[in-house]
Structure 1
């Protein structure tokens, strides 16, 4: 009896140690960077500038109606660069989104479809091209998708990335797996992943710069600078603050191609007043030519 008791005691001890180590491992995998958001980091003081690929002029429009003309467009578009959109399988790029807005065809292929040739992938097209559009991917996780899908990234093998990619399937119904992928980073709230971003956050900063530059390039390529003036694309992003389950998001729309080198997100500050102050100082009140507005949406 004493021997059985001792074995049970050892098993219980082993279980406790295993659980303890497991919790430490999970804590390490989901560790966040220590930022209070009270002051914006120094790199946000860099002045807005025109990217090297932006055209500095355009032809005068031949069809001008200064009064009483309605334009139809979309100022809230997410692509595969947004972690929530990508979690549900979206593989459309900003370039594809603008082509669709201009009347082009958009494939409804999902990431899970891969390169399968045995299934016909449907496509869609608008009945009438839009007059304007803005791709507004989430600034908070511009880095998440690119780093989690890049095998050379230091955080590629982290638990959040493995869950996000679907390498690890949680024990729920298949229809709920996209939500699990979404939660893998949503649970971090306004904090950045230390495993993904590195101890100083530089990996995420550089990935965000790269994603932001791609968004600018896509908007520039879609903009119709001919005399037809048939389509206007806006450089834009979404500031996605979610406090206590409430979505207090803002779509930040820039009037032209002169924009800040990196967007302020809710991970940089959870105070919308800081966002407005930054836009005012860096754009609307600056001599750089940058102009911006923030449109709220709370759905």
Structure 2
């Protein structure tokens, strides 16, 4: 195993040792290349950071919770400007983002701002007047009004006249969509900052979160030829097949391109990754799996409302499975979670189930890449623990926010301190443009982190060797000899596939504990399995006979909300071959990069406000990155 910085030191030492030159080293590392290794380089060479799930005050729930910020505010903030939050706080990102998709809920966009202002048409409706008066009172009354509107929305009981006034085709809605697309075009600067146009299709029947974020590759000229798909009757639909039809119509009618990203599934109560029947009453049949595979190439594996990679019930042998787990029930906590729901909610189990569905139906509907996003409803894309502005305006930094539930019902509560300061998405692309960012997402050359900006490369092939890592730029060998994350392994050309993975710590973040490769496979009897392999790690620890490692240690200073990088590694890398490979078994592999322990956001609240952290709140965690998988098919 090659690990840590010593991996790369040997090539540097050889190149500087003029007494013992290696004239063949260049040609072995860059075969057939000119002296400059970057001449004619065509593969994606930059990682660009952003997210695909952010709400402004135009979203009905965000606005009613007090968000008064719009799209211009969100773009300015993402680009690195300091702005004033809806709660009146000065806020700025530690580092600007490279790109952003604002995805306001497509249903009833703009109603919240009219409720805030007490617009005449709102006050003329008894229910609208009730919501407006509640918002005007503020405090608990405003919160109750917001939840009442959300409940009416989930139960499809919003008064029909209000739905009509804030639906596609209405003057209010069409003007808003025009403004949204124009603003995105105005803030889109190719090579500097990318503003992709999108929206969130908000399917949430009975509180089961089945949302999808729709991303367009194109500018406003094409986006304005359509209006978003909604879910409220009579024009809307909660059936994903209708969303796929909308996406097809968009491409057919505009010549543009679009895709959808499945929302984090941990609040879907088993409906996001169905195996037999869909919630909309359809069947998981040949048509469903083909359309889902075509239109949903990505999955939101981590965000504010919890981490969705796996669950300790599903992965009892995975010591890192219980990370930011939020598994109490559905979105409004009107139905509690049952264990049998979990396999249809989490990424790893869905990837495994996809192998089985492919065998029976011919297409794998869950062959997705990984993305991270915030799902923040503040218009502030903050995934930094020390700079976390919460899920909604009511959860912006304050001395008491750790004590306020995110959701509360007769069945219990999702506590505010349980929310995660997560996540971001890294995209490997040649340039920072709409086309390059979208194309990288479509080919799944993208990955998720829980917030840190960890550069990660992951390649699969059949003949990678340790020699391929004797360079500061091993991606040359990765693309020449194999395929990147999000791809299928080429036809078998060896006894076992080999994988090259390397990661660098976030330049201003924590050191790395380890790199793991997660494997899922289906045997010849149709049974699925999983295994997590430690493949590279820091601090010269020794694995036991089963491959398990002792913990990396813990340098967290809770009093100062700090840690020291005196443990861990600044970089880790290895070439790993699957020791349990069976050429008859379908399989997937993805890399998981784990940081050393660091403080959670609640510790920073205690430091700055003197907040009393509730018993049961986690204070320390190990942040991570998840690459998109690489698949093997016999």
How far apart in 1 are the matches of 2:47 and 2:97?
11
Distance in 2, Cα, partners of 1:74 & 1:86: 20
Is the 1:80–1:91 contact (alpha carbons within 8 Å) kept by the matching residues of 2? yes
Map Cα deviations across residues 162-215 of structure 1 (whole Å, 9 max, x no partner). 333344789xx9446424323225314345522424xxx356432221221121
The residue number in structure 2 matching 1:291 is 257
**Distance change in 2, residues 1:153/1:255 (3 Å):** farther
Structure 2 residue 243 is matched with structure 1 residue 275: yes
1:233 equivalent in alignment to 2:201: no
Over 3 Å counting, the alpha-carbon distance change for 1:76 and 1:124 in structure 2 is: same
Q: What corresponds to 2:105 in structure 1?
A: 138
Could you tell me how far apart the structure 2 residues matched to 1:185 and 1:244 are? Answer: 11
C-alpha change, 1:168 and 1:106, in structure 2 (3 Å) is closer
Larger radius of gyration: 2
1:1-299 pair list within 5 angstroms: 66-110=43-87, 121-149=88-116, 153-167=120-134, 174-175=139-140, 177-189=142-154, 190=156, 192-197=158-163, 201=164, 204=167, 205-225=170-190, 229-257=191-219, 258-259=222-223, 260-267=225-232, 268-283=236-251, 286=252, 288-297=254-263, 298=265, 299=267
Looking at structure 2, the residues matched to 128 and 269 of structure 1 have their Cα atoms a distance apart, in angstroms, of 39
| Contact 1:146/1:207 (<8 A) preserved | no
Asked whether the equivalents of residues 147 and 196 of structure 1 are also in contact (C-alpha less than 8 Å), the reply is: no
Higher strand share: 2
1:13 alignment partner in structure 2: none
* 1:119-139 alpha-carbon deviations (Å, 9 max, x no partner): xx3211111110110110001
Alignment gaps of 5+ in structure 2: 1-40, 268-634
Report which of the two has the higher share of helix: 1
3-state SS, counterpart of residue 211 of structure 2: strand
Structure 1 stretches lacking a partner, 5+ long? 1-63, 111-120
Question: CA–CA distance in 2 between the matches of 1:69 and 1:202?
Answer: 45
TM-score (normalised: structure 1): 0.64
Pick closer, same or farther for the CA change 1:218–1:182 going to 2, 3 Å.
farther
Does structure 1 retain, via aligned residues, the 8 Å contact 2:122–2:129? no
Conservation of the 8 A alpha-carbon contact between 1:156 and 1:196: no
- Please tell me whether the aligned partners of residues 150 and 156 of structure 1 are also in contact (alpha carbons under 8 angstroms): no
2:216–2:259: 8 Å Cα contact kept in structure 1?
yes
Q: Is the contact between residue 209 and residue 261 of structure 1 (CA under 8 Å) also seen in structure 2? A: no
- What TM-score do the two structures reach when normalised by structure 2? 0.32
SS in 2 for 1:85: helix
1:251-299, CA deviations, whole angstroms, 9 ceiling, x for partnerless residues?
Answer: 101001122431111121111110111111221xx26222111101135
Partner residue, 1:24:
none
Alpha-carbon spacing, 1:142–1:162, altered in 2? closer, same or farther (3 Å): same
- The count of residues paired between Structure 1 and Structure 2 equals 216
Partner of 1:26: none
